[in-house]
Amino acid sequence: MVNADTTTAARSEELLAEAKRVIPGGVNSPVRAFRSVGGTPRFIAKASGPWLEDVDGNRYADLMCSWGPMILGHAHPAVLEAVTTAASEGFSFGTPTEREVRLAEEIVARVEPVEAVRLVNSGTEATMSAVRVARGFTGRSVIVKFAGCYHGHVDALLAAAGSGVATFALPDSPGVPPSSAAETIVLPFNDLAAVEEAFAARGQEIAAVITEASPGNMGVVPPAPGFTEGLRRITAEHGALLISDEVMTGFRCSAAGWYGLEGKPVSGAPDIFTFGKVMGGGFPTAAFGGRRDVMDMLAPDGPVYQAGTLSGNPVASAAGLATLQQCTPEVYDRLLAVAETLQAAVTEAFTKYGIPHRIQTAGSMFSVFFAEHEVTNFEEAKAQDSALYGRFFHAMLQRGVHLPPSCFESWFVSASHDDEVVAHIVAAIHGAASDITQVELAGSRP
Ligand SMILES: *Cc1c(COP(=O)(O)O)cnc(C)c1O
């Protein structure tokens, strides 16, 4: 047994069985099913600040923060008030509203190269639309992406297979037509030579390079110094656009996302940015934006069609705007301080118990790789002990801390993570490190 103070998941198990009857796999997004860590996903009943409470009454300190959005913690009073006020005035009109203007202004004010944004309903829609506008602008169709970067479940961007340079990628998922994947070149992250070669071979066909500004979907793997700069230089030389996907990092790594941390490449800013997660404050709103001449391609001013019944939804816009307005310098300082305390606890506990680990950060985003080597790309990210992560995940869950249920994710903190919850998590890290080492020793007996 991992631990004595085992939590019960009886009601979650019942709900999962009921869910499986009407929802494929019982979940509406695959990673929620706990397949890579095993066990029963906890059905969360409610949450407040840094705490989640499940349907069996267990409490967990939250290190997922809804995969990023809940940067202020759950049910933040100012956001709740903004949402309640907006909702009391009606849910959706299918007309322009003032709130979406204010949200767009907030985004444009924060991220300097973004001159105009269009609001959509999910990060997937943002990247899909960014790719379309890039293709429309350049009159070309090929997209370059990097293995291990996730841009939502857009057909052309699901391809992550194939390593060599400028080869045709195979679709990663049945249902993605080979014709769609054939328009996508997948290259290893942090490998500028591979990008040079791809452009040398097919530069005239490439509409855009899309990259996670600082990848968080293979664990946290920041771009090596000069990588973003190189992408900007090579794309500009060949008349292709650079799309910086900041759906995860936007407004999280800093007030201006990863762009705010890394700064503007000498050869110019990315042409298009995509946002989501934090900017919706937990509601389904996202955006893509960038250079004025590129964004002017969109209907109704230009020929590239893009639309949405609920786009710019007033309740979602209110949540996003209130969230961004609360994201002050003090909030970013607090996120960093909490992240650093947790990283120090992992380093101390894992060193003490001899658990292989490598911590990588992007602002307050960080992940703990269960490996010793530096991780600069997807291949290296995959070379870690994911089974050991699964045991650590469950040991933490038993001790009342909910980590992301996959070793290829960032850990997320919120400004509501106060000293009490941080102390709780630190104690759990030490306890869980001890738990899994004991399992190791027990397991190694003949
Ligand atoms: C989450 C994510 C997406 C997809 O956003 P959804 O809202 O889940 O569709 C796209 N790109 C990145 C970098 C993400 O982290």
At 199-233, the pLDDT tens digits run: 999 999 999 999 999 999 999 999 999 999 999 99
Which atom of ligand 1 is nearest the CA belonging to 245? 13
Q: What are the pLDDT digits (tens) for 368-397?
A: 999 999 999 999 999 999 999 999 999 999
| pLDDT greater than 60 at residue 9 | yes
Any idea of the CA torsion for 111, 116, 119, 120, to the nearest 10 degrees?
-90
Could you tell me the distance, in angstroms and rounded to a whole number, from the CA of residue 152 to the centre of ligand 1?
A: 5
Distance CA 143, CA 419 (A): 45
- Angle between the N-to-C axes of helices 419-444 and 386-398, in degrees from 0 to 180, rounded to the nearest 10: 130
Which atom of ligand 1 is nearest the CA belonging to 215? 13
- Angle between the N-to-C axes of helices 77-88 and 314-326, in degrees from 0 to 180, rounded to the nearest 10: 160
More confident residue, 33 or 167: 33
Give the pLDDT band of residue 277 (cuts 50, 70, 90). Answer: very high
Could you tell me the distance, in angstroms and rounded to a whole number, from the CA of residue 150 to the centre of ligand 1?
A: 7
One-letter amino acid of 321: L
Q: Which residues contact residue 330 at a Cβ distance below 8 angstroms, ignoring those fewer than 6 apart? A: none
Mean pLDDT is lowest, of 10-19, 363-372, 393-402, 434-443, for 434-443
Ligand 1 mutation target, pool 150, 153, 214, 412, most atoms within 8 A of CB: 150
The pLDDT value recorded for residue 374 is: 97
Q: Are 299 and 306 in contact (CB under 8 A)?
A: yes
Cα–chain center distance at 438: 33
One-letter amino acid of 194: A
Two tokens, residue 426:
């630190």
The pLDDT value recorded for residue 441 is: 57
Which atom of ligand 1 is nearest the CA belonging to 122? 7
Distance CA 25, CA 32 (A): 10
Q: What are the pLDDT digits (tens) for 406-416?
A: 999 999 999 99
| pLDDT greater than 50 at residue 166 | no
Distance CA 257, CA 84 (A): 28
Could you tell me the distance, in angstroms and rounded to a whole number, from the CA of residue 439 to the centre of ligand 1?
A: 36
Two tokens, residue 312:
């710019």
Position of tokens 């990259």?
A: 211
DSSP, residue by residue, 299-368: TTTSSB----TTTT-HHHHHHHHHHHHH--HHHHHHHHHHHHHHHHHHHHHHHHHT---EEEEETTEEEE
Other Cβ atoms closer than 10 A to 382? 16
Q: Are 185 and 142 in contact (CB under 8 A)?
A: yes
Position of tokens 């602008």?
A: 137
Which atom of ligand 1 is nearest the CA belonging to 125? 9
Distance CA 273, CA 114 (A): 7
Whether residue 178 is preceded by a cis peptide bond, meaning omega within 30 degrees of 0, is: no
Give the pLDDT band of residue 4 (cuts 50, 70, 90). Answer: very low
Ligand 1 pocket, CB under 6 A = 122-124, 127, 150-152, 212, 216-217, 245, 247-248, 276, 286
Give the pLDDT band of residue 438 (cuts 50, 70, 90). Answer: confident
Q: Are 126 and 288 in contact (CB under 8 A)?
A: yes
Could you tell me the distance, in angstroms and rounded to a whole number, from the CA of residue 259 to the centre of ligand 1?
A: 17
pTM: 0.95
Indicate which residues carry an active-site annotation. 150, 245, 277
